[in-house]
A and B are shown apart, each in its own frame.
Chain A
Amino acid sequence: NAGVTQTPKFRILKIGQSMTLQCTQDMNHNYMYWYRQDPGMGLKLIYYSVGAGITDKGEVPNGYNVSRSTTEDFPLRLELAAPSQTSVYFCASSLPMGGTTTNEKLFFGSGTQLSVL
């Protein structure tokens, strides 16, 4: 039972380089999310998706892009890496949240530690 799988686990980038953080889930969840975790700052939502073909901005979307071509995959793209993007990135998925649902639970991947130097 894989759950949410993120790759890579660690990466070092130079300023201005680009990369894609991969995220896939095998639970058939409609909702997927990307968070970043900075020391002492908690988790901030970057982008989220409520289904294939639908994405929307979270609190801190600048410098990132996402796509959702399938239910399983939700990659996060950094086009021009900057030191401010040094962080730990978490992908998560869930069943639909809010409204009348009682299944308000996110499943997280193990994270990608990214350093931009």
Chain B
Amino acid sequence: GNSVTQMEGPVTLSEEAFLTINCTYTATGYPSLFWYVQYPGEGLQLLLKATKADDKGSNKGFEATYRKETTSFHLEKGSVQVSDSAVYFCALMGPFGNEKLTFGTGTRLTIIP
């Protein structure tokens, strides 16, 4: 079945540091890939997505590229801010229609001023 493996946290960085959160997946065919973010006390919200190989999703300075050859969708940001402190979830949805999202375990990110 489908599965998502995420970099274990927690991750603590200083403001303006470079961020990478690793995500790899197992799925048949060509799934759609997502990053969701959960800010303290809130539900998850979609951060970015990519629906086919070599696509790059981007939003709020975050980027992730769909790499079919390495089955990866790593999240990156060049210069993090305190407001980026949150839990980040990688997720996939299979390509065969009416499929549900499979989530990774989440990575807690804390940015120190």
Quick one: closest A residue to B90, CB to CB? A42
Given A99-B97, A99-B98, A111:B43 Cβ within 8 A: yes
B1-58 contacts to A (CB < 8 Å): 4, 6, 32, 34, 36, 41-46, 49, 51
Contacts of B89 in A (CB 8 A): 42-43
Pick from A14-22, A61-69, A72-80, A102-110 the stretch touching chain B. A102-110
Cβ–Cβ contact A104 & B51, under 8 A: yes
Quick one: closest A residue to B43, CB to CB? A108
A117 at the interface (CB under 8 A from B): no
B69 at the interface (CB under 8 A from A): no
Contacts of B106 in A (CB 8 A): 42
Quick one: closest B residue to A105, CB to CB? B46
Contacts of A106 in B (CB 8 A): 36, 44, 46, 101
Quick one: closest A residue to B104, CB to CB? A42
Query: Nearest-CB distance from A59 to chain B (Å)?
Result: 9
Interface class of chain B by DSSP: loop
Q: Quick one: which of A41, A42, A58, A102 contacts B51, CB cutoff 8 A?
A: A102
B100 at the interface (CB under 8 A from A): yes
The CA of A43 and the CA of B105, in the complex, are separated in Å by: 7
Cβ–Cβ contact B103 & A42, under 8 A: yes
Cβ–Cβ contact A97 & B100, under 8 A: yes
Cβ–Cβ contact A97 & B105, under 8 A: no
Cβ–Cβ contact B99 & A97, under 8 A: yes
A82 at the interface (CB under 8 A from B): no
Cβ–Cβ contact B41 & A110, under 8 A: yes
Contacts of A104 in B (CB 8 A): 32, 34, 49, 51, 93
Question: What are some 14 contacts across the A-B interface (CB < 8 A)?
Answer: A42-B4, A42-B6, A42-B105, A92-B43, A97-B93, A97-B99, A98-B97, A98-B98, A99-B97, A104-B32, A106-B101, A107-B45, A108-B43, A110-B41
Listed in ascending order, the chain A residues whose CB lies under 8 Å from chain B are 4, 33, 40-43, 45, 48, 50, 58, 90, 92, 96-99, 102, 104-111
Listed in ascending order, the chain B residues whose CB lies under 8 Å from chain A are 4, 6, 32, 34, 36, 41-46, 49, 51, 89, 93-101, 103-106
